Chain A
Amino acid sequence: MEAYALTEAVYYILLSLTTPMHGYGIMQNVHALSNGRLNLAAGTLYGALTTLLEKGLIQSSGLEDARKKEYCITDSGKKTLEQEIIRLNELLENGRKIMGAKK
């Protein structure tokens, strides 16, 4: 189980892959999810996908050609995502509580 915080890119990649997607699809989806704030660069995305595959958080359809390769989140990936949402919630709640009280 992931014990550390996910990077912003990894968080959005995992979230995107709850629906199977190609590499380019992930870039577009992350862009749309973040209202255009986040532009995942291809080199960074490829590196992240390779690492996530190695860690078993995502899987790819067996096609050798990277152009046709589709990626999908695994059960382990989903668990990681759920844990991260709990962690992010804690951050957000504390932030709102403390900063809200100061206003």
Chain B
Amino acid sequence: MKYNAYKFFTIGQYEKEEKWLNEMSAKGMQLTDVGFCRYSFVKGTPGEYIYRLELLEHMPGNAESVSYISFLEETGIEQVGSILRWIYLRKKASDGPFELYSDTESKINHYKRILFIADIMSIALLFSFLPNLTRLIFKIIELVKMYGSFDSFFMRQLNPHAGFTIFYFALIAFLQLVVLPIRKSKFKLIKEKTVHE
């Protein structure tokens, strides 16, 4: 008997997602399959598995990823599912604590991988929006020359252009806000690394 749950987590909330999956496991709901916003559970022994999420460097079908996943399997880790480059892993709680990374450096690297996605998207948005920004600046210069002041007619002329600018900036700000907790954790670990390994 499968139970489906529908929930949405951003990439900045993957640790929260892990926590939720482990809470479900504690209640005896064991994750067996994932889809976009969909989680399939099978009723089992409470607390039988510990779940972890990882962003791979390549897609799961890539040879490097296949080799990595089979390495994980050798250590008793099981892949439950994947979404794009994210994999959902679990290990029997009876095997002891389950972590994917045991040193600061590899934890930082994982955070960096997640931040890289958000940063690449932000830069792409910024570049796709540059022509609009240039156009907006020219429009302002043109209007200032024409009217010589910022009166209401001037603002009405400018509004459609400014609206577009605000939309793009809001999108970039949202993306960066989503990964802000990850960035904070990363900085904390980098600071930690100056003292401890």
Q: B102, A7: Cβ atoms under 8 Å?
A: no
Q: Are B71 and A7 in contact (CB under 8 A)?
A: no
A10 shortest CB reach to chain B, Å = 10
Bound CA span A44–B71, Å: 12
Q: Is the CB of A66 within 8 A of B67?
A: yes
* B101 x A43 contact (CB < 8 A): yes
Chain B positions within 8 Å of A9 at CB level: 102-103
Interface size on B, residues (CB 8 A): 23
Residues of A within 8 A of B94 (CB): none
Residues 31-63 of A at the B interface (beta carbon under 8 Å):
38-44, 46-47
Q: How many A-B residue pairs have CB under 8 A?
A: 59
Chain A residues near B31: list those with CB within 8 A.
none
Question: Does B72 sit at the interface, judged by CB under 8 A?
Answer: yes
Chain B residues near A8: list those with CB within 8 A: 103, 197
**Interface residues as binary, B71-83 with A (CB distance below 8 Å gives 1, 0 otherwise):** 1111111000000
Asked if B99 is at the interface of the complex by the 8 Å CB criterion, the answer is yes
Interface string of A2-39 (1 = CB under 8 A from B): 00000111000000000000111001000000000011
What are the residues of chain A within 8 A of B15 when measuring CB–CB? none
Q: Are B68 and A7 closer than 8 Å at their CB atoms?
A: no
Cβ–Cβ < 8 Å partners of A43 in chain B: 54, 72, 100-101, 106, 110
Whether the pair A67, B74 counts as a contact (CB closer than 8 A) is yes
Taking beta carbons and an 8 Å cutoff, which residues of A are in contact with B?
7-9, 22-24, 27, 38-44, 46-47, 64-67, 69
Which residues of B line the A interface, CB within 8 A?
54, 67-68, 70-77, 96-97, 99-103, 105-106, 109-110, 197
List 7 A–B pairs whose Cβ atoms lie within 8 Å, in order of A's numbering: A7-B105, A8-B103, A23-B74, A39-B96, A42-B75, A42-B77, A66-B67
Given contact pairs A41-B99, A67-B74, enumerate 20 new A-B contacts (beta carbons under 8 Å).
A9-B103, A23-B71, A23-B74, A23-B75, A27-B75, A38-B102, A39-B99, A41-B100, A42-B71, A42-B72, A42-B75, A43-B106, A46-B72, A47-B106, A64-B67, A66-B67, A66-B70, A66-B71, A67-B70, A69-B71
